[in-house]
Amino acid sequence: MSPAGHGPGHTDPRSQFLLALQARDASEHTLRSYGATIGAYLDWLAERGVDWRAPARTELRGYLAHLSAATARTSVSQRLAAIRSFHRWAARSGLAAGDPWGAIATPRLPRRLPRVLEIDQIERLLEAVEAEHAGDDALALRDRAIVEVAYAAGLRISELAAAAPSALDLRRGEVRVMGKGRKERVGLLGRPAIAALEAYLEDGRPVLLARQGSRRRGSRAGSTAPPDDPDVLFLNHLGRPIGVRGLRYRIDRLCRAAGLPDGVSPHTLRHSFATHLLDGGADLRVVQELLGHESLATTQIYTHVSPGRLRAAYVAAHPRAVTTPASSATPASSATPAVGPEPPTTREPA
């Protein structure tokens, strides 16, 4: 057998691992990313005559130095997570004794608080839609619906791109999406999002879909075939599915047009959704369910982003959060919090 167990005539461990991921309904993006990472790792070991099942610490440190020299810190962390997942799978499958990376100290990324938009910045983003699409009502209706739905339901951009018209229940204010791990969940829609979707479905999407048909008829003289209606909610200017890249491009353009700070991304709308819900008093487990987080610990980061929620919890729980000076004649019942003014009220996420 070749040192890496990775050569011609032998079962490729990378392919076996990817099949195992596929059986667990891993996304296409995960399969591509993990496949590239594991392939590069196994090739690096094979070039040095190292058996991938039991590499020495010096070899693992060498690979870590190789990654760190050529890759951003965030990418190093992501690639090591994929490699460790591969080794854990190999151990469970009986292909290796264990995870050799378990004894290696690897760099940890600092926990960054997610960027969050203020309510007025959400409004500016929606106002930018009209300016961006002056003269093209169909695209304006689409982009307004995109922003309203992303913010109202806290969807990931991949979930937004894959959402289908058949998954909408506007009477109940719900949209069904397929989240990470192929898990279906229901996102909730407020009145502004429902109104934006109704307008888009009535006057925007049919116009975009017709453009697909007219473009096809223009390229094939005499053709009268109706346009193909993809089971995708959001279409591009040619009547085709807009996709993740198209959505990211549109939202990035709107953010720039609205004058929002650098670094605001489509995922910022999801962060804002969660933080504004907590600011409004929503239970953390409810927010976890709406976001589709498997672990409550993932959702808890938003409690650190929401100073209003932290202040309210402090005032409600700490015995000396509300004090009345002894010399004051003000009744204790009218005492004000010593930690500052109450947070401003915010509208419920659209």
**Active site amino acids:** 156, 180, 267, 270, 293, 302
Contact 101, 112 (CB under 8 A): no
**For tokens 């009218």, what's the residue?**
334
Q: Residue 222, Cα to own-chain centre: how many angstroms? A: 44
How many residues are recorded in the chain?
A: 350
Closest by CA position to 292, among listed 270, 264, 315, 316:
270
Contact 314, 339 (CB under 8 A): yes
The Cα 257–Cα 42 span in angstroms is: 45
Q: Which are the contacts of 187, defined by CB distance < 8 A and separation ≥ 6?
A: 149, 152, 153, 154, 155, 159, 174, 175, 176, 177, 290
**For tokens 């969050």, what's the residue?**
116
The Cα 53–Cα 239 span in angstroms is: 50
